[in-house]
Structure 1
Amino acid sequence: MFSPSDRAKLEQYVTDCDGDIFAVKNLEGIVGAVYARYSRASTGFRETLLKEFVEAGQIDPAKAEALIERVLIAFGDDSVGELEGAHVSFEDISNLATKEIEDRRIGGSPIEKSTRYVLYDQPGPDGRFRYHRDPAVMASEHAAAYEQTMDFIFKTYAELVEPMREYYRGLKPPEAAEYDINGDGKKERLADCTTPTDEKAFRRTYEMDLRTKACDALRYLLPTATTTNVGTFGNGRFFQNVLSHCYTSDLPEARALAARLQIQLNKIIPRYVQRAKRQEYQVTVRAQARALAGELFRAVKPRPEKTVTLIDGGEEAIADRLAREGLTGSTVGAALRDEEDVLTLSCMLYPHLAHPLRQIQEVVRALPAEKRQAVVAAYVGDRQTRRDRPGRAFEAGYPYTFDCLTDFGTYKDLMRHRITTQLRQAFTPTHGFVVPPDLEAAGFAHRALACRDRAVALYERLKPEFPEQAAYATLHGSLVRWVMGMNDREAQHLIELRTGPQGHPSYRKVGQQMHEAIAARSPWRAEVIKFCDRNDYFWSRGDSEAAQRVKEKKLESLKA
């Protein structure tokens, strides 16, 4: 039991002074240190807080700062940093930069402004379209070409918003639309609405149905330079990793973003991000791996590959080897281990190439031992401390490794799955472009292709002088190559979630193709993924919009 005076102190910081379970409040920037300290104390959290962190009824900032420093020295801040967190908003950053943040998988939860719900047809407060203008590019001879290309693409997008709405309106006039706006399992038409409230809900659902269809079709035109907003909650360790990664990035926008982020986090959780810095080890090994990949594949032209390829276990290569060496336990083991090595080494080279993974594997299989060792040496480099960590190629070996060639929009939606290993190649508009079927059906394919052509021309113009910034010309409809490794449980989650009726048609197809590939390899495993939806839904979000009206109606009734 606590004394009345101690209870008065504690009530500011815990939700219950007596129970065995309680929540902590009003201890931003300090709670991690308290938890770390009490993990080795004989007393509980509340007693530890009172004894070591509270002075004269309040948290003593100077004392707390000294204790945090002592705790971090005594315990190390890797795990302690996971006990502190911050909410951070990144606003008006490019879609390209968002991937630098969101690709840090562990400890953070980002949510991004959706191109599936938000139209980008209006200019910003400065009267200009909303896309990132890299300072170095804008100070170069390419500035005019950059702005002219981006303005052309955004103007095309804006000019097609109303025509696409009218196209969808022609396919489904309001009088023919049906929505369950009352939540009774029965779909009503506009003529069935008997009250002004129901009619308003119906018309709002209908307009959102058309709007989201237009967003889904037109987002293919948006470049990765498009600026957006990302809200993120993350723990200290996550943000320290984000900062270090962005400081180390080749993308100038990411480095500038890191500097601004550090200033803001220093106001909230300074001790937990104090080790964030540019990682020269990563800079070195990235350059080494890129140079070696270029050397090994200089004469190898990337070959076409399908949208989704499930990488096999190298069975044909193993069979060929066993035919030469004989079938024994040792030869089988050696062949299996060699294929594991081939996959890992191929993943080391993959981010620095434009080739599909299977083609890279074929080249790696043929490399002599000294060349394979050179790949490892370039990728691993000279590790000076345990914090010099090689990259994700060492995570290779999942039951399923999918090599994907999808539009950027699909990549953006699927890369959110964090219980996976992902590797991606450089974003470029030169792998190809997906013309949205609805734009083609509406007679606007030529306008989409004009945007593609302008984007490719800008990319080729920028690449020699600005290889990183050239990626801003990648459109959401541009094909990008990336690898996603996962286990059975994640495959079930991803496929069942992403093939749902409300999903974008492009990533629904990817999920369906993943399921087909798993079924071809192991029918019973595919059967476990029983909620993979293989149906087609042209009006995919009308039902979800109607359900939203039902929820809004319930909220209004509660207020009344």
Structure 2
Amino acid sequence: MSADRPARRVIAVAPMPPEKSAYALARYSRSPDSIENSIKWVHGHSSEKFWEQFYFDYGHASIADLGHVIVCFEDITELAAVRLEDEPVWDGQAKSSRYQNFASSGWYVPDAIHGSETEGTYLGVLRSLGEIYRQLHEPLVTFLSNREPCPQDMKAAEYQRTIAARAFDATRYLLPLASRTNVGQVVSIRTLEKQITRLLSSQLPELRMIGEELKDACLRPPMNVWGELSGQSAGLNEPMAPTLARHAKANEYQAGVYSDLSRYAKEALKGTDLDQPASWGKQESVDLIDLHDPVDETIATLLYRVSQAPYRKILAEVRNWSEKKKQDTMAVALGSRGPYDELIKEFRSGYAFIFDVLMDIGGWRDMHRHRRCQQIQQNFTTVHGYDVPPPLVQAGLADEYRQAMDVVLSDIERLKKVSAEAALYAIPFGCKVRCLFKMDFAEAEYIAKLRSGVKGHWSYRAIAWHMKQKLTERYPSLGHHMQATSPDIEDTLTR
């Protein structure tokens, strides 16, 4: 090696406050200095001034991808967890309802009904769900244990955990969106800012409160239990992302666009019967939509988001509209958009494979984790009815489940007349939700292979299998290359 040739180095850098690390790496990319010298420079200069100038004034948004944070949300609702995880650029895990008893965590009560007669009605619905959740668990464990005895080569503790997980797979259909959970996430501070903005712009009070608490967490020094256990006298005593937190605020466009679309859709679709479930015909669990005009796709997707109707029915209506009516719809979705506002995700059109999926909320929560596709979820509702877990049918417990769900859904409809917010939180996981999945072939193949495996939940296994079947029927030469496992192949003791 010649004397003037630099030595190659690969360096791992210890964690730093996110705004500081992003500043150091941004400077590193814009100067000839080594990383050591860049860090030393940042240590002696104001990162706040850097962020104010380059991120907020000049709009160099990508620098915020260089600083990452770990944030944990404890005792939030399942509904809030879904909305946290709506971010497409997101890494994290939520507390699993498959491996623990969720009925013991208690329920969230919206502030708007505290101390009212409505609170009593609401808690009555949740208590009835919790009671049948507990009642069905042990009989189901007994049934599964008798059907699948512990193999000699399997440890008793592992067997018991597996059987319990399979039982919770069924009983969690009775968990409401008000169930409390925990979520841990690792995100860039760019994604964090978007998340805070989206939460502060929400119509739901719980989400706005979480947004405020997330801002506050960015202004404080982070918890450093690991450092304390490792003998550090003091942890990271600088706030996590104070400049970002000061600038994060609600977004007028995000706060109002879906309400605007909802009001518009009621008028635009008046007389079409698209708001009448009886007019939808047979509802398939998976519908692969034919390729169609991207303008029609965008308009249909905007309407789908604020509807409960199948995409295929909405698309058929939109295709008959005049160009002016289509542009009027587009104008509603763009009317309050500011110069720096991103398009809402309903504009992400042009994917070759569009699946309209109708499935139970519990199983959909796992499908919701897929980030390499665009998901447009309709609002949670009771109008699509509910699914019955096959193990409950096999164990002879389906009647008790159906009786409980029928009463609960009837109570939710009455609750909706006095508090739409409370009725939303009371919806159980067994109810069906409709969601549009737009993707390329690679993602379709990945979902079919991963989600159809025997380790999975029967609900999303069936959805993944149907996705493969639908795609293979339409494009045999592509479907031939998709690996998937039929739901008929079961292995209760694999997880």
Aligned partner of 2:485 in structure 1 is 533
The TM-score, its normalising length taken from structure 1, stands at 0.79
Residue 31 of structure 1 is aligned with which of 18, 21, 40? 21
Instruction: State how far apart, in whole Å, the 2-side matches of 1:539 and 1:280 are.
Output: 50
Q: Mind listing any 5+ residue stretches in structure 2 that lack a counterpart?
A: 1-5, 221-239
The TM-score, its normalising length taken from structure 2, stands at 0.89
Aligned partner of 1:276 in structure 2 is 248
Instruction: State how far apart, in whole Å, the 2-side matches of 1:87 and 1:18 are.
Output: 34
Deviations 1:326-381 (A, max 9, x none): xxxxxxxxxxxxx3221110001111111000000111112223321211111111
Task: Please give the secondary structure, in 1, of the residue aligned with 2:247.
Answer: coil
Aligned partner of 1:438 in structure 2 is 391
Aligned partner of 2:70 in structure 1 is 87
Equivalent positions of 1:70-469 (< 5 A) are 70-72=53-55, 76=59, 78-106=61-89, 108-121=90-103, 123-124=104-105, 130-173=106-149, 177-178=150-151, 180-181=153-154, 202-267=155-220, 268-299=240-271, 300=273, 301-302=276-277, 303=280, 304-314=282-292, 339-385=293-339, 387-469=340-422
Contact 2:291 2:352 in 1 (8 A): no
Task: Please give the secondary structure, in 2, of the residue aligned with 1:528.
Answer: coil
What number of residue pairs does the alignment pair up? 464
Of 468-477 and 160-169, deviating more is 468-477
Task: Please give the secondary structure, in 2, of the residue aligned with 1:80.
Answer: helix
Instruction: State how far apart, in whole Å, the 2-side matches of 1:407 and 1:496 are.
Output: 20
Change (3 A) 1:511 1:141: same
**Counterpart residue identity of residue 297, structure 1:** L
Deviation at 1:543, TM superposition (A): 3.6
Deviation at 1:498, TM superposition (A): 0.5
Aligned partner of 2:438 in structure 1 is 485
Aligned partner of 1:53 in structure 2 is 42
Aligned partner of 1:319 in structure 2 is none
Change (3 A) 1:296 1:494: same
Deviation at 1:73, TM superposition (A): 5.3
Q: CA RMSD in A?
A: 2.0
Deviation at 1:497, TM superposition (A): 0.6
Aligned partner of 1:5 in structure 2 is none
Deviation at 1:272, TM superposition (A): 3.2
Task: Please give the secondary structure, in 1, of the residue aligned with 2:363.
Answer: helix
Counting aligned pairs with the same residue, the percent is 29
Change (3 A) 1:536 1:205: farther
Deviation at 1:273, TM superposition (A): 4.0
Contact 2:64 2:188 in 1 (8 A): yes
Of 266-275 and 233-242, deviating more is 266-275
Deviation at 1:266, TM superposition (A): 2.0
Instruction: State how far apart, in whole Å, the 2-side matches of 1:262 and 1:73 are.
Output: 17
Equivalent positions of 1:473-512 (< 5 A) are 473-512=426-465
Residue 11 of structure 2 is aligned with which of 15, 22, 42? 22
Aligned partner of 1:40 in structure 2 is 30
**Counterpart residue identity of residue 169, structure 2:** D
Contact 1:289 1:378 in 2 (8 A): yes
Contact 1:77 1:272 in 2 (8 A): no
Contact 2:458 2:487 in 1 (8 A): no
Deviation at 1:171, TM superposition (A): 1.5
Residue 522 of structure 1 is aligned with which of 459, 470, 475? 475
Instruction: State how far apart, in whole Å, the 2-side matches of 1:213 and 1:454 are.
Output: 25
Contact 2:216 2:245 in 1 (8 A): no
**Counterpart residue identity of residue 295, structure 1:** E
Deviation at 1:520, TM superposition (A): 0.5
Instruction: State how far apart, in whole Å, the 1-side matches of 2:374 and 2:117 are.
Output: 39
Instruction: State how far apart, in whole Å, the 2-side matches of 1:169 and 1:47 are.
Output: 62
Task: Please give the secondary structure, in 2, of the residue aligned with 1:398.
Answer: coil
